[in-house]
Amino acid sequence: MSFEDTIRYLFNATRIMDVGDRIEKLLVTPERQVKVEVAIEMDDGSLGVYEGFRVQHNDARGPYKGGLRFHHEVDQDEVNALASLMTWKTAVVGIPYGGAKGGIQVDPRGLSLAELERLTRKFTDKIEVVIGPQVDIPAPDVNTDGQTMAWIMDQYSKYHGYSPAVVTGKPIELSGSQGRVAATGRGVALCGLWALRDLGIDPAGATFAVQGLGNVGSWASRILADAGARLVAVGDHGGYLHNPEGFDVEALIAHVEENPDRSVMGFAGADEIDFDTFIASEVDLMIPAALGGVITKPVAETMRCKLIVEGANGPTKPDAHDLLVERGVMIVPDILANAGGVTCSYFEWVQNNQHFYWSEKDVNDRLEPILRKAYESVNEIATARKFDHRTAAFIMAVREVGKATVMRGI
């Protein structure tokens, strides 16, 4: 995922809407880019030095909001792109936040738990001046989870007093929200079910494929399987598997959780395939739920699915996107498809601020209508003006962020 790609999607919308140079300029550049050096003592006594980032793209509609990822490919350009996507995502679902993203350039699999904790706490020391419950609220993303958020909350609270609302995606025991862990995957699955029906495909009996069986991919698969859809191809960093009869999703997820490599590989009763065969699977629905930039133009040329629902952020390159749209493939874009996570983060923040906690049913009953409304609004713009769904979602987001920017004044 590059910043240039995000800009291309953004300019598609700003040019159609004719927002003018001034607004366009304001919407492109991140408002603050923080880069820090995070030095920690490793378990063997050596020094570990890592680059950390927090980018705050736009806060016209509310405090900056967005995840933190630990990955060896994290760099300034990627974090800028992902921060921008958060601005559009929070606007599409209409929750009162801006957009941000952060990360540390590290392969966390090479670190012990104690090293990870030191790294997270040291990073928090470096960015505590720019985050806060009313300023910028981090959350989990690639390779970070409730434990990471617990360390950040604890470290931040040492400076500012007990502050659960400084991060979301916390464990339930530490002021987290019911339903948060499943929320991103739930949103992906719901968008998948709605879009399948719009395409005239009955979800019961529909086939789907998932790249990445982490938090998002596993919950999306579970919910789709519960609705009667059949997971026939799956894969991750370890490799890809095919089972035309349909995988037992619960057993597969249990296998990944028990596998030290956290991969689907080694799951019994399936054929091994390569990435090219996987991505070209003839399925109704393809869910990329791993990293960005996987669907390039040459990859898109081979794809045979009818629908793509983007679980990951930025999985589709712009030229691949255009080609797929031309071929009539429907794409539910990341800023709509995976917005269930940040929407539930908003619920968590509201609960933290009110010190009043909701049941899982309350959470899910509030999540679905917000996503449904966003899905329908995007669909309406797409149908009425014959735009693809990504362009429609960007138009909707730019309209909201643009209005807030003008009203607040430059």
Contact segment (CB under 6 A) with ligand GLU among 63-71, 185-193, 217-225, 254-262 equals 63-71
Among 338, 351, 379, 391, binds ligand GLU (CB under 6 A): 338
Phi, psi of 14 (to 5 degrees): -65, -35
Which residue is closest to ligand GLU by CB?
A: 67
Contact segment (CB under 6 A) with ligand GLU among 3-11, 44-52, 203-211, 336-344 equals 336-344
- DSSP3 helix / strand / coil % (the chain, rounded to 5): 50, 20, 30
Give the C-alpha separation, 382 to 378, whole Å. Answer: 6
Please, what is the Cα angle at 148 between 397 and 290, to 5 degrees?
A: 55
Contact segment (CB under 6 A) with ligand GLU among 18-26, 60-68, 117-125, 367-375 equals 60-68
* Nearest one of 269, 183, 173, 172 to 218, comparing CA atoms: 183
Least gap, CB of 213 to ligand GLU (angstroms): 17
Q: Which of residues 288-327 bind ligand GLU (CB under 6 A)?
A: 313
Among 52, 67, 103, 292, binds ligand GLU (CB under 6 A): 67
Per rule CB under 6 A, is residue 141 in the interface with ligand GLU?
yes
Instruction: Return the structure tokens found at 25.
Output: 């300029």
Residue where the block lists tokens 């028990």: 258
Question: Cβ distance 295 to 252 under 8 Å?
Answer: no
Residue 169 is classified by DSSP as: S
Residue 234 is classified by DSSP as: E
User: Would you say 66 or 179 has its CB closer to ligand GLU?
Assistant: 66
Per rule CB under 6 A, is residue 281 in the interface with ligand GLU?
no
Beta bridge partners, 191, equal none
* Nearest one of 296, 242, 315, 320 to 274, comparing CA atoms: 242
Least gap, CB of 141 to ligand GLU (angstroms): 4
Among 54, 57, 61, 65, binds ligand GLU (CB under 6 A): 65
User: Would you say 48 or 341 has its CB closer to ligand GLU?
Assistant: 341
Instruction: Please enumerate, as own/partner, the contacts of 79-82 that have beta carbons within 8 Å and a separation of 24 or more.
Output: 79/33, 79/53, 79/54, 79/55, 79/103, 80/3, 80/30, 80/33, 80/55, 81/1, 81/2, 81/3, 81/5, 81/6, 81/292, 81/314, 82/1, 82/55, 82/141, 82/292, 82/313, 82/314
Least gap, CB of 339 to ligand GLU (angstroms): 7
Contact segment (CB under 6 A) with ligand GLU among 116-124, 207-215, 334-342, 380-388 equals 334-342
Among 212, 288, 341, 402, binds ligand GLU (CB under 6 A): 341
Instruction: Return the structure tokens found at 323.
Output: 């080609």
Instruction: Return the structure tokens found at 310.
Output: 């983007």
**What is the per-residue binding string for ligand GLU in 164-203, x denoting contact by CB under 6 A?**
----x-----------------------------------
Contact segment (CB under 6 A) with ligand GLU among 9-17, 31-39, 275-283, 341-349 equals 341-349
Among 60, 252, 289, 342, binds ligand GLU (CB under 6 A): 342
Instruction: List interacting residues with ligand GLU (CB under 6 A).
Output: 65-67, 89, 139, 141, 168, 313, 338, 341-342, 345
